[in-house]
Amino acid sequence: MKNASFRHIKPEIRILGVDDGPFDKSSKKVPLVATVFRGGKSLEGVLKSEIEVDGTDVTEKLIRMVGKSPHLGQLRVVIVDGITFAGFNVLDVKKVFRELGLPVIAISRDRPNMRDISKAIKHLPGWSKRWKLLKSAGRIYPVQTKQRGGPVYMQPVGVARKDAEQILRLSSVRSLIPEPVRAAHLIATAIVVGESYGRA
């Protein structure tokens, strides 16, 4: 598929922000939460699924969750908090783009350390497939979403770098992290521990 075309990115572009909940050694599953936002200002919907810790189901669960949502027709882009969820349940961002027809922007506060990640996943079943997905997710770019504070890092799939940067800046209204992802994190955390924290 070719990159999505954004002739003009509207302030109220419909964005899906995705994050997972916290977990510990006893956890088998964690919530996967997606929020639907108009730009970075107005929350219009929340979606929820569950994924396995260190499993391989996040791609299918995300595609299914979004694909059956009545919000799908209005969505223009998906922003995910990294491409590893619930430990090392690796998201196939290119498959999400192909199946849903929505560009994906993976973001992280810190630049991913691929050397450390490669060491960490080698004890998991199917580690070579996980590693292939991680390596194929695309180039990592820094982007300054706010005037103050360090950059965040992004891997855009199905969207030009300049358009991805504009979308991230437009939706990062309260912190360095885009509001749809920040809200998804707060909701997922509250589901697990009973209250929200982090991503302020």
Q: pLDDT, tens digit, for every residue of 75-127?
A: 999 999 999 999 999 999 999 999 999 999 999 999 988 889 989 999 999 99
Compute the distance between CA of residue 187 and CA of residue 70 in angstroms, rounded to an integer.
20
pLDDT at residue number 199 = 52
Q: pLDDT, tens digit, for every residue of 155-187?
A: 999 999 999 999 999 999 989 999 999 999 999
Residues 168, 156 contacting (CB under 8 angstroms): no
CATH homologous superfamily of 14-192 equals: archaeoglobus fulgidus dsm 4304 superfamily (3.30.2170.10)
| CB neighbours of residue 25 within 10 Å | 5
Query: What percentage of the chain reaches a pLDDT higher than 90?
Result: 80
Compute the distance between CA of residue 113 and CA of residue 135 in angstroms, rounded to an integer.
12
Compute the distance between CA of residue 3 and CA of residue 64 in angstroms, rounded to an integer.
22
| CB neighbours of residue 165 within 10 Å | 19
Those residues whose C-beta lies under 8 Å from the C-beta of residue 105, and which sit 6 or more positions away, are: 77, 78, 79, 80, 154, 155, 156, 157, 159, 164, 167, 168
Q: pLDDT, tens digit, for every residue of 109-118?
A: 999 888 899 8
Determine the average pLDDT of the residues in 38-53.
95
The pTM score is 0.94
pLDDT of 19 above 80: yes
Those residues whose C-beta lies under 8 Å from the C-beta of residue 68, and which sit 6 or more positions away, are: none
Instruction: Give 142's strand partners.
Output: 153
Lowest mean pLDDT among 17-31, 54-68, 71-85: 17-31
pLDDT at residue number 179 = 96
pLDDT of 198 above 70: no
Mark out the alpha helices in the chain (DSSP H runs): 58-67, 93-100, 114-121, 127-135, 161-171, 179-193
Sort strands 77-81 and 104-108 into parallel, antiparallel or unpaired. parallel
Compute the distance between CA of residue 136 and CA of residue 131 in angstroms, rounded to an integer.
9
Domain ranges of the chain: 14-192
Burial of residue 187 (CB within 10 Å: 0-12, 13-18, 19+) is buried
How does the average pLDDT of the chain come out, rounded? 93
Lowest mean pLDDT among 37-46, 145-154, 190-199: 190-199
pLDDT at residue number 200 = 45
